[in-house]
Amino acid sequence: MTTFTPETDAQVIDAVRWAVAEGQPLEIVGQGSKRGLGRPVQAAHTLDLSRLSGVVSYEPEELVLVVRPGTPMLEVEALLGSQGQCLAFEAPDYAPLWGGQAGEGTVGGLVAAGLSGPRRLKAGAARDHVLGVTAVSGRAELFRAGGKVVKNVTGYDLPKLLTGSHGTLGVMTEIVLKALPAPPLTRTLVLAGIDAAAGVKAMADAMGSPAEVASAAWVPAELPFTGIPPRTPSVLLRLEGVDVSVDARLAGLTRLLEGRAATAVLDNDESAALWEELRDATPFAQRPDLVVWRLSVTPGEGAAVLERVRQAIPGTVGWLDWAGGLVWLGIPPGDAQAGLVRGALSGNGHATLFRAPDPVRAAVPVFQPQPKPLADLSARVKAQFDPAGVLNPGRMGG
């Protein structure tokens, strides 16, 4: 049981080379805040990247931030914020969901897990904002891909491949991110008293309007959220930008959705608190007993998928984000009910077992099993990056 804490790229290479030579797999961690995600890794040794930390360069006018993987997210966000910028895909903070402290986590972990928040609907996902990476493959070779400019098609887009690969393809030692202006103002239009099916329709109409809705969610009666009247299922539409623009769009959107439910507007501060709760899945952080699933589905199917699971598994609670395309489910403790949850998808989209005790995640495929030819191709990709299987073995299944 050794924990390596490299401080240089060369030390990362040494550690991986040793792991390959000795046939000793490594668990790759930043601060370990996302250990609860994915299958528990079977590795006796740990490669801890928290000391491979710091901002390499930040040029706001170029929209480019270069960081080491172990840099704490708090530091990254404070730096971007000081220049009025942000990561537009909205980095979630799920540490409390998995029982950790708010604010834990590194930028490397965020990118490796490929996680995005409510603004993903409009701004794109984490993978759309990773411009370049330097990484050590499971062959103990350092490679670079992508670049340090915002537009680039030179060579394969390995930064996208590494994003969301959960440390199974390479140990990232440097990450280039696209930074964008942070919205100066946010308001939220609330439609209070609307069921999930009508809510999904309202969100589709809002998304199909010129209102440039940045995020759209539906929340149920059972869960508490800031600014939402108690026990009232509601649609939340988030508008961002300069005040004149937000006001104009808010007026248009209100006209469009008039008569569907009672409307109210949340100001900047309440909006910020509300979307943070949705981003971080806070209601489930407050309910540590529940098994949590996160489903990516065709937006228009969101309400139907949620309803099917509720029918199949009594006691299920959940809400919809991404205009219906992201379904958060909390099911009563015990079995993860993977068959029922994945069955409710009806072949459209995929389901990730997002929080469950280790033994449950060791027994159930955490990520959606893929059709054979695709699973075979993914396995071949893995083998080309990590032929000896020393990087986070088992984390993504397989």
Partner 1 sequence: MRMPEPDARVLASRAALLARLREAVPGGVIAEDSAMRPFETDGLTAYRQMPLVVVLPSDTQQVAAVCRIAREMGVKVVPRGAGTGLSGGALPLADGILLGLSKLNRILDIDYDNRAVTVQPGVTNLAISQAVASRGFYYAPDPSSQIACTIGGNVAENSGGVHCLKYGVTANNILGIEFVTIDGDILRLGGKHLDSEGYDLMGVLTGSEGLLGVVTEVTVRILQKPETARAVLVGFDSSEKAGDTVAAIIAAGIIPGGMEMMDKPAIHAAEDFLNAGYPLDVEALLIVELDGPAAEVDHLIAEVERIALANDAVSCRVSQSEEERLAFWAGRKAAFPAVGRISPDYMCMDGTIPRKALPIVLRRMQDFEKEYGLKIANVFHAGDGNLHPLILFDANQEGQLEAAEKVGAAILKLCVEVGGVLTGEHGVGIEKRDLMDDQFGEADLAQQMRLKCAFDPDHLLNPGKVFPQLHRCAELGKMVVHKGNLPFPDIPRF
Residues 17-46 that bind partner 1 (CB under 8 A): 17-18, 20-22
Nearer to partner 1 (CB atom), residue 287 or residue 350? 350
Nearer to partner 1 (CB atom), residue 2 or residue 311? 2
Number of residues that bind partner 1 (CB under 8 A): 102
> Cα(361)–Cα(358) distance, rounded to whole angstroms?
5
Smallest distance, Å, CB 299 to partner 1? 5
User: By rule CB under 8 A, what string of x and - marks binding of each residue 348-377 to partner 1?
Assistant: xxx----------------xx-xx-xx--x
Smallest distance, Å, CB 156 to partner 1? 5
Smallest distance, Å, CB 359 to partner 1? 24
Question: Which of positions 250-279 make contact with partner 1 (CB under 8 A)?
Answer: 252
Question: Which of positions 105-124 make contact with partner 1 (CB under 8 A)?
Answer: 114, 116, 120-121, 124
Q: Does 300 bind partner 1 (CB under 8 A)?
A: yes
Q: Does 7 bind partner 1 (CB under 8 A)?
A: yes
State the DSSP string of 104-167: --BHHHHHHHT---TTHHHH--GGGGEEEEEEEETTS-EEEEE-SSS---SS--HHHHHTTSTT
Do 351 and 310 contact (CB within 8 A), yes or no? no
In the chain the first and final C-alpha atoms are separated, in Å, by 24
Question: Which of positions 205-224 make contact with partner 1 (CB under 8 A)?
Answer: 207-210, 212
Smallest distance, Å, CB 181 to partner 1? 4
User: By rule CB under 8 A, what string of x and - marks binding of each residue 62-101 to partner 1?
Assistant: xxx-------------------x-----------------
Question: Which of positions 307-326 make contact with partner 1 (CB under 8 A)?
Answer: 322, 325-326
Q: Does 154 bind partner 1 (CB under 8 A)?
A: yes
User: By rule CB under 8 A, what string of x and - marks binding of each residue 168-207 to partner 1?
Assistant: -x----------xxx-x----------------x--x--x
Beta-bridge partner residues of 181? 85
Smallest distance, Å, CB 339 to partner 1? 17
List the structure tokens of 26: 């490594």
Nearer to partner 1 (CB atom), residue 159 or residue 220? 159
Q: Which residues of 89-127 are buried (b: 16+ CB within 10 A; e: fewer)?
A: bbbbbbbbbbebeeebbbbbbbbbbbbbbbbbbbbebbb
Smallest distance, Å, CB 145 to partner 1? 6
Beta-bridge partner residues of 262? 192
Do 306 and 253 contact (CB within 8 A), yes or no? no
Smallest distance, Å, CB 147 to partner 1? 4
Q: Which of the ranges 134-142, 221-229, 258-266, 356-364 carries the binding residues for partner 1, by CB under 8 A?
A: 134-142
Q: Which of the ranges 185-193, 244-252, 333-341, 355-363 carries the binding residues for partner 1, by CB under 8 A?
A: 244-252
Question: Which residue in the set 6, 25, 227, 394 belongs to the binding site for partner 1 (CB under 8 A)?
Answer: 6
Question: Which residue in the set 56, 74, 102, 149 belongs to the binding site for partner 1 (CB under 8 A)?
Answer: 149
Smallest distance, Å, CB 342 to partner 1? 11
Hey, what amino acid is at 112?
Answer: A
Smallest distance, Å, CB 224 to partner 1? 26
List the structure tokens of 59: 């040029």
Contact partners, residue 287, CB within 8 Å, separation at least 6 = 330
Pairs from 360-364 (Cβ < 8 Å, separation ≥ 24):
360/291, 360/335, 360/336, 361/38, 361/39, 361/40, 361/336, 362/39, 362/40, 364/336, 364/338
Q: Nearest-CA neighbor of 280 among 49, 42, 103, 117?
A: 117
Nearer to partner 1 (CB atom), residue 187 or residue 228? 187
Beta-bridge partner residues of 235? 191, 218
Question: Which residue in the set 33, 53, 106, 163 belongs to the binding site for partner 1 (CB under 8 A)?
Answer: 163
Smallest distance, Å, CB 26 to partner 1? 11
DSSP-based helix, strand, coil % in the chain, nearest 5 = 35, 25, 40
> Cα(187)–Cα(191) distance, rounded to whole angstroms?
13
State the DSSP string of 236-298: EEEEEE-HHHHHHHHHHHHHHHTTSSEEEEE-HHHHHHHHHHHHHTHHHHT-TTSEEEEEE--
Nearer to partner 1 (CB atom), residue 228 or residue 306? 306
3-class DSSP state of 320: strand
Q: Nearest-CA neighbor of 215 among 178, 190, 184?
A: 190
